[in-house]
Amino acid sequence: MNTISIANLCEVLGAACPAGATGEIGGVSIDSRTIRAGDCFFAIQGENFDGHNFLSDAQKKQAACLVVSRKPPFNPDIPVIQVDDTVQALGQFAAWYRRQLSATVIGITGSAGKTGTRQILHHVLSRQFRCRQSPKSFNNQIGVPLTLLSAQRDDEILLVEIGSNHPGEIAPLAKLAQPNIVVITHIAPAHLEGFGSIQAIIEEKASILEGMSPDGKIFIGGDVPELAAHIRRTYKCPFTMVGESPFCDLRPDCMHSSGTAGWLRLEEQTIQVPLAGIANLKNVLIAWAICRDFKVALSDFAQAIRTLRSGDMRLQIEHIGPVTVLNDCYNANPASMENALDCLARMAAQQHRRSVLIAGDMKELGPHSRSLHRQIGAAASRCGIEVILAAGQFAEALVEGAEKTDNTHEKIEQMRTFGSLEALCNNVHRFIRPDDIILVKASRSARFEYVVARLRELFGKQQTTE
């Protein structure tokens, strides 16, 4: 962040300036554990934490000032700025700061592919531009402001993820970010507990356009025609559709995934993609649409893509002794689950190895949860997955879907449900054989990374990742 005076910050926030506050701030923090000297500490209150409990820690670490919604229980030696709501104040500061930036802001939303597309764009664009991204999936009412406030004066491109769990969350964040370029990656059943229907998801994701700059450009995943129809009907603005469908503006000549990696052909040039799954090929395709707009040469794009690496717990391939694990524990929804199953099936077929699915719940699907888990079980059966181990509230629904599906593959060897994650971890050794390929996937809150940790204990401490 560019430095600003504490007095200027108070003016932006509409707050009284503490007497004698003549210093400057060089950054913003909401976590006293990682605060740096000269940062402004915003005391954010969440469901499981309250930054007001760590004001003394922030002072000890030489914070420049504190932004609070209630007075500290001690007399700080640094300026204290009182506001009604610290989350609102953080957003207010970020909105002001965004207006000072000359960087091109790329706003990215979608049901799936946001983080993957952001990381691909950063990997490519940072070779030719001063390009900044958030260190994590900072895509909510706190994360988006922090991403904006992380930008420096000389940044040329800023990549901002914008997400939501409920209707009405994206538009305000988009108005903070004011993206010059909007990317809507993919629409799929996700967070249905909050949205209720696919149409509601389409409307929410498209509302990112409400914050777009007047001369902004729009790129959308073009394989969901309902999204394009909604944008035409509601926003009446031009956009570029990217995907495999014949009505897309940008399509690959062909696309192929072997499971562990893949390739796509664009303008008579083959782009080798060292990432697992078809979904990553689609992320690369939409990233090319944006990079092309920045005049990146296709040959340079292809060269950069060859050096991509998968993100942590995002279809991350780990070779653990004699077994191969697809660690995809970061998140799960029906679309990402089907993509991961396709990847597992392709890898198993290519390498002539047994396929194993270890699955937890897909969260926030509301009344559709049971039927969607049954659909995933059916998809696993159709893919020819040979062992299914499941734990969670909807484990039985997933196995039921696999049992009741007609398919032409060999019968599933084993299917088991477990009453808890602990029970699964304690019994997984009974079902895994050397040389298996194992997909471990669940929503983040299911904590299925513990299954991967258990597999490491069972099959050796030495492992490699791809």
The candidate with the shortest Cα–Cα distance to 416, out of 407, 403, 433, 406, is 403
Amino acid, single-letter form, for residue 213: S
- 3-state DSSP of 203-257: HHHHHHHHHCCCCCEEEEECCCHHHHHHHHHHCCCCCEEECCCCCCCECCCEEEE
Is the C-alpha dihedral spanning 162, 108, 29, 16 positive or negative?
Answer: negative
Burial class (CB in 10 A: 0-12, 13-18, 19+), 20: exposed
Cα separations (Å) of 28 from 64, 93, 206, 309, 428? 10, 10, 30, 30, 44
Cα separations (Å) of 121 from 13, 31, 41, 114, 184? 33, 28, 30, 11, 14
pLDDT by position in tens, the chain (length 466) = 999 999 999 999 999 999 888 899 999 999 999 999 999 999 999 888 899 999 999 999 999 999 999 999 999 999 999 999 999 999 999 999 999 999 999 999 998 899 999 999 999 999 999 999 987 888 999 999 999 999 998 999 999 999 998 899 999 999 999 999 999 999 877 767 778 788 999 999 999 999 999 999 999 998 889 999 999 999 999 999 999 999 999 999 999 998 889 999 999 999 999 999 999 999 999 999 999 999 999 999 999 999 999 888 889 999 999 999 999 999 899 999 999 999 999 999 999 999 999 999 999 898 989 999 999 999 999 999 999 999 999 999 999 999 987 654 556 889 999 999 999 999 999 999 999 999 999 999 999 999 999 999 999 755 666 6
Cα separations (Å) of 201 from 166, 187, 310, 355, 444? 9, 7, 27, 33, 20
Distance in angstroms (rounded) separating the CA atoms of residues 365 and 133: 29
316, 457 contact by CB (below 8 A): no
Helix pair 114-125, 278-293: axis angle to 10 deg:
50
Helix pair 170-177, 86-100: axis angle to 10 deg:
40
332, 133 contact by CB (below 8 A): no
Give pTM, 2 decimals: 0.90
Cα angle, residue 170 at apex, residues 165 and 173 outer, rounded to 5°: 125
373 three-state secondary structure:
helix
The candidate with the shortest Cα–Cα distance to 107, out of 39, 157, 70, 150, is 157
pLDDT score of 440: 98
Distance in angstroms (rounded) separating the CA atoms of residues 129 and 134: 16
The candidate with the shortest Cα–Cα distance to 357, out of 344, 370, 338, is 344
Furthest CA-CA distance within the chain = 77
- Rg (Cα) of the chain, in Å, rounded? 24
Phi/psi at 219 (nearest 5 deg)? -125, 130
Domains of the chain, start order: 4-86 (3.40.1390.10), 101-305 (3.40.1190.10), 316-465 (3.90.190.20)
